[in-house]
Amino acid sequence: MHRCPRCGCFEYGGAPACPRCRDLLDTLVEDGYQAFLKEESLPDDPDLAEMIVSEIKPYAWRVVDAAFDRLTCPACGNRRGRGPAGCPPCDLDEGFRYSAREPDRPGVPPLNEHAVRVGAAVLRNAHRHSEKALLSWRLGFPLVLAGGMFTTAQAQNLRARINKGAGYDDLAPWVATRLR
């Protein structure tokens, strides 16, 4: 794992505040969409994005999330599924996005891609989640993206420390020992 030269967090973990970490997350999703377009020889257009979000289940989560990014919510004007909590269409889209496929990457433990997907959703939509959930994923996302997973006991330990008021700087060294 590498530290972000801009914010000092483990890469991706500075999101959403760090523009570089936020861009890394967006690129992670966008690269999946571009690979899909290339593999299927499809153009990048709004009609395709609409089709994808209307049929979510056959598509991988990165394709679905990138398709949502290309569309605008008619109620709040944000990217679909990324508007404020309480926006009815965005709330529906936020829930529907989880019906997309989560194929694990080669060489990672089962369900790792689910963890990557949840972490990316939390970090990319921080305004829809609690500060504690955000901190958990700022710390854990670099680990799961690298192919690791917290054990149940480790995840509970992390959450207990966060609940007691520990912050990123307090917990990053502990998490770093899991990245080795």
The count of other CB atoms within 10 Å of the CB of residue 117 is 22
Among the listed residues 99, 101, 72, 102, the one whose alpha carbon sits nearest the alpha carbon of residue 87: 72
CA 99 to chain centroid, in Å, comes to: 15
Kindly report the CA angle at 142 between 138 and 147, in degrees rounded to 5?
140
pLDDT at 179 over 70: no
Calpha distance 62→65 (Å, rounded): 5
Give the model confidence (pLDDT) of 134-154 as tens digits: 999 999 999 999 999 998 999
pLDDT at residue number 180: 55
Token pair for 50: 């609409």
pLDDT at residue number 20: 98
Calpha distance 84→42 (Å, rounded): 31
Give the model confidence (pLDDT) of 78-92 as tens digits: 999 999 999 999 999
pLDDT at 73 over 60: yes
Q: Is the peptide bond before 16 cis (omega within 30 degrees of 0)?
A: yes
pLDDT at residue number 177: 85
Whole-number percent of the chain with pLDDT over 90: 93
User: What mean pLDDT comes out for the span 34-52?
Assistant: 98
pLDDT at residue number 176: 87
Tokens 């299927």 correspond to: 40
Q: What is the mean pLDDT of the chain?
A: 95
Residues 6+ apart with CB under 8 A from 113: 61, 102, 103, 104, 105
Calpha distance 87→76 (Å, rounded): 7
User: What mean pLDDT comes out for the span 97-109?
Assistant: 94
